[in-house]
Structure 1
Amino acid sequence: MATGANAKYWKDARLPGVLKHNLLKRYLPVFLIRTASVARCAAYFDGFAGRGIYDNGQLGSAGQMLDFAVGQKFGSGVPISLHLCEKKRETYLVLDELCDKYRAKGIDVDTSRDDAKNYLRNRLPYFADRPAFIFLDPCGVGIPFDDLVAAANRGGAKHWPPTEVMINFSLEALRRIGGHVTSATPSEATMKNLDVALGGDWWRAYFAKGVTDEAVDAVVKDFAQRLLDATKMSLMVVPVRRAPTHKPIYHLIYGTRHPAGMWNFSHATAKAIEDWWAGVSAQQEKQQGPGLFDAAPNIKDVEKAAVPVIADNIRRLVEAKGTVRLGDYPVQVFGDYVGQVRDLAARAAVKQLYKEGFTSTTGVGGKTEDLKVVPA
C-alpha cells in the first residue's frame, strides 16, 4: 500500500494535481468567506497535508490555504484556523517549517506528525463551534469510514456550524487491493484495511470475478451512497484523470448540506477542469508541437450542448414548483452536467426560455444562482 507521495511528486504539480489544487483554490474561499461572514471565523482541516510546497516554490493545497488565511486576517479581519497533519517525518518537517513562517504572521495553524484519523479525532473539539472544511487526500486508503462519518456529522442534527468535506478516493489503491479477492495468495490484512476505510467488507463481492472497470465504478457508486445515507449530505463525485481520454486514477468526493455549496462547487469544478484541460493542451503542444486536433475538449463546446438540456431541466422545475430560484436546485438545474459546465450555462438556458416565451425572467443581471425564474 502507498504510504505517501515520493520525491518525484514534489518536484512540481502533476496535471491531476493541478485540477485538485485549482478546485480547492477556487472553491474554498467561497465556502470560508460565506460561512465566516456569519460566524466571524472558520476552520480548515487537512489530514494528509504533505509538504505544502513543491521544490519549485509552487504552493500545494496546504500552502494555498496558509496564503488565503493571511489574506483573510489582514483583509476582512476574519481569522481562519488551520489544522494540518502529516505522518511522514521528512515531509512533516518541511510542512512545519513552512507553517512557522505563517505563525510569525499571526496565523492560527496547528501541525502534527500523526495518523490522520487520530489527529481528526483530537482536533474536532477545537473547531466544534465554527464552520469547517475537512480535506482528506491520502495517496492510498483513507481514514476509517466511521471517523469520516463522525466528522461529517459533528454538529448532529443542527444546521450550524456547517461542515463540508472533500476526500480523495484512490482508484489505484482500490484496483490493487481488489485484486487480492481473487488472488492465489491474498493478504487478508490488506483487505481488512480497506474494509475499515469503506465501512465493511461489502466491496469484496464486486471483485469476485476479478478487477474490472465496471466493478471499480460500482464500488465507488456504492460507497458514495453509503456515505450519503450515513451523513444525509448532498454529494458530488469528480473523476480525475491524467488525460481526458484516460481512465480515472481517483475520484474527489465532495459533501455539503447546503445548495449554495453544491452550486458553487459545481461552478468551481468546471473552472478547474477548464484549467486542467488547458494544461493538458499546453503540455501536448510542448512535447509534440501544435496539432490539428486538440486532445482536450473545449468547455464552450460542452456548454453549448448543455444549454438546451439545462433549459428543459429548468422548465420541468418551474412547471412543478412555480417560481424557482436557480441556486436552490443545483442538481436539478444542471442534471448530468453538474460539475461539467460553468453557471453561465444556466443563465444562457434562462435566456433561451425567455426568448421562447416560457418565462418573464430575462436572465440578465445579478448572480446566476440568484435568478428567479417566473412562469410567463
Structure 2
Amino acid sequence: MLADDDPDKWVLKEHTEVKHRILRKYLVPWTRILSSGNPRIHYFDGFAGRGYYEDGEPGSPLLAMDVADEHADLFDEFLCTFIEKNSQNYSDLVEAVEQRERTVSDKVKVYHHNEAFADVARDLMDSLEGEIVPSFFFIDPFGYKGVPFELISEILNLRDQGVEVFLTFMVRDIRRFLTDEGHENSISEIMGTDAWKEIRDQPNIENKEEEILKLYEQQLKQAADMEYVWPFEMKMPERRETVYYLIHSTNHFMGFKIMKDVMFVEGAEDQFAYLGPEHYGYDSGQQKIFEHTDNGDRRIHELADYLFEELEDRRLTFWDVMKETYTETKLIEKHYRKAVKLLAEQHRAEIHNFPDRPKGSTNGVQPDDEVEFVNPNAGLTDWT
C-alpha cells in the first residue's frame, strides 16, 4: 500500500476531479445562502492532504479558500480548518496555504493541524459548542479507518441545524475485509454497529457493497438522527467496481436539495454515479424508482403519477411538493416542474400562481406557487 505522501497518490484522477467539482458547486451556494444570515461560517477539511496535485491542480483546501475569496463581500469571516496527519503532506500543505493566503481576502482565516482527524476533531467541537457558526465538514480519507461513526454522529449533532458532513465512504475496502477477523473492530468502529456481520454471513447477497451502504445510511438517519442522507457512487473505470461513495448528510432541506441537484448534473445518465472516462449508463442490477430510461418522457410521466398518488386531494406550495418527496425520487426540480405541468394538462392538478410572493410567478411553477392535486373523476356518478 502506498504511503499517503507517495507522489503516485497525488496524481489527479478523473473521479477526484468529479469529487472536487461536486464540492465546489455545493460550496458556492452554501456560502451565499449561509452568509446572508451569518457573519461567520466554518469549513473543515479532515484529511486535507498536501493542498495540490502533481500537475499543480489545487486540492480541496485551496479550492475552499478560492470559493471563500470569490464571495468575501458576503461575510465577515470564512474560517478554514485543515487537518493533516502525514508530516510531509502537512509541510507541503502549510506552504501551499500560506502562498494562497497572500492572494485571497483577509476575511479568509486559516488554521491547520498536524494531527489525526479523530484526535483533533473533539477538541475542535468543544471550541464550537455554544457558537452559532454554520459548519461544513469535508472528510475524505484515503482508506476507511480513522473516521469512527461515533465521531461523525457527534459532529452532526453539534446543533439541530447548521452542521453538514460530506464524507468519502470507502465501501470497497470494507467489503474486502468483511471476513478478516483482524479488521472486525475497525469495521464496527466505522459502521457504529456490529450489524454489518449479518451482511458478511449471508452468502446469497450478490452486492455486498450496496448492503453496506444501506446499513451506513440507516445509521446516519437513525443513530445520528439525520433527516437527509444522499450518496454518490464512484466506480473504478477499468472493472466497473465501486470504490467509494460520497455521502452528504444534513438536517436542512435546502442543503440536501442543492447537493442532490449538483450530484444529478455530475452523475452519468441520472444515476448519481461516476462510471469512468466514458461515463455511460450501466445495469445497476437493482432498479430504483425513476431511474433513467431510454424514453425521456417516461420519467416525467412516472414522476407525475407518483406525485399524484402521494399528494392527491392536497394543496401545497411547489416547494413543499419537493420537500415531501425529494428523498424518494432520482429526479430534480426541472423534472418536478414538468411533471406538475403534465398533471395540469391532464386535469389532475391545478397550478395557483402567486406573483406577489417572493418566489412566486405570474405564469409558471415556482417554489411559492401552489399545486392542488385533484382527482378529475371525483364527484362523477356512475349511472350504469
* 1:1-376 paired onto structure 2 within 5 Å: 4=4, 6-12=6-12, 14-73=13-72, 75-104=73-102, 105=104, 106=106, 107-127=108-128, 128-141=131-144, 142-155=146-159, 158-159=160-161, 162-180=162-180, 186-187=181-182, 190-208=183-201, 213-233=206-226, 234-243=228-237, 246-273=240-267, 283-284=277-278, 295-296=280-281, 304-319=297-312, 321-326=314-319, 329-330=322-323, 332-333=325-326, 335-337=328-330, 341-361=331-351, 369-375=367-373
- TM-score using structure 1 length: 0.81
List per-residue Cα deviations over 1:329-368 (Å, max 9, x = no partner): 346146331xxx4421112112212222223328977885
C-alpha contact (below 8 Å) 2:314/2:372 kept by paired residues: no
SS of residue matched to 1:25:
helix
Select the structure that is richer in helix. Answer: 1
C-alpha contact (below 8 Å) 1:259/1:329 kept by paired residues: no
List per-residue Cα deviations over 1:204-223 (Å, max 9, x = no partner): 23213569643332222112
List per-residue Cα deviations over 1:167-209 (Å, max 9, x = no partner): 11102211222131xxxxx42xx32122222113332232135
Runs of 4 or more consecutive aligned structure 1 residues displaced over 6 Å after TM superposition? 297-300, 362-367
Q: What is the deviation of 1:91? A: 1.4
- TM-score using structure 2 length: 0.80
SS of residue matched to 1:154:
coil
SS of residue matched to 1:94:
helix
SS of residue matched to 2:348:
coil
Q: What is the deviation of 1:281? A: 9.9
C-alpha contact (below 8 Å) 1:135/1:165 kept by paired residues: yes
Output the CA distance in 2 between the equivalents of 1:149 and 1:219. Answer: 18
Q: What is the deviation of 1:48? A: 0.8
Q: Against the structure 1 CA distance between its residues 207 and 319, is the aligned structure 2 distance closer, same or farther, given a 3 Å change threshold?
A: same
Instruction: Judge which range, 2-11 or 62-71, deviates more.
Output: 2-11
Q: Which amino acid aligns with 2:309?
A: R
How many residues are paired up? 350
C-alpha contact (below 8 Å) 2:35/2:75 kept by paired residues: no
Unmatched 5+ stretches in structure 1: 181-185, 285-293
Output the CA distance in 1 between the equivalents of 2:365 and 2:259. Answer: 15
Instruction: Judge which range, 89-98 or 322-331, deviates more.
Output: 322-331
Q: Which amino acid aligns with 1:129?
A: I
Instruction: Judge which range, 168-177 or 196-205, deviates more.
Output: 196-205
Output the CA distance in 2 between the equivalents of 1:302 and 1:8. Answer: 43
Output the CA distance in 1 between the equivalents of 2:90 and 2:263. Answer: 29
Q: Against the structure 1 CA distance between its residues 5 and 374, is the aligned structure 2 distance closer, same or farther, given a 3 Å change threshold?
A: farther
Residue 286 of structure 2 is matched in structure 1 by none
Q: What is the deviation of 1:165? A: 1.0
Q: Which amino acid aligns with 2:123?
A: N
Q: What is the deviation of 1:276? A: 11
C-alpha contact (below 8 Å) 2:36/2:74 kept by paired residues: no
Residue 290 of structure 1 is matched in structure 2 by none
Residue 288 of structure 1 is matched in structure 2 by none
Output the CA distance in 2 between the equivalents of 1:34 and 1:307. Answer: 30
Q: Over aligned residues, Cα RMSD in angstroms?
A: 3.3
Q: Which amino acid aligns with 2:342?
A: Q
Output the CA distance in 2 between the equivalents of 1:228 and 1:244. Answer: 33
Structure (1 or 2) with the larger CA radius of gyration: 2
Output the CA distance in 1 between the equivalents of 2:137 and 2:335. Answer: 29
- Pick 1 or 2: higher relative contact order, CA cutoff 8 A, min separation 6: 1
Q: What is the deviation of 1:370? A: 4.7
Unmatched 5+ stretches in structure 2: 283-290, 354-360, 375-384
Q: Against the structure 1 CA distance between its residues 118 and 304, is the aligned structure 2 distance closer, same or farther, given a 3 Å change threshold?
A: farther
Output the CA distance in 2 between the equivalents of 1:244 and 1:323. Answer: 47
Residue 287 of structure 1 is matched in structure 2 by none
SS of residue matched to 2:209:
helix
List per-residue Cα deviations over 1:49-70 (Å, max 9, x = no partner): 1122212222222221110111
Q: Which amino acid aligns with 1:326?
A: W
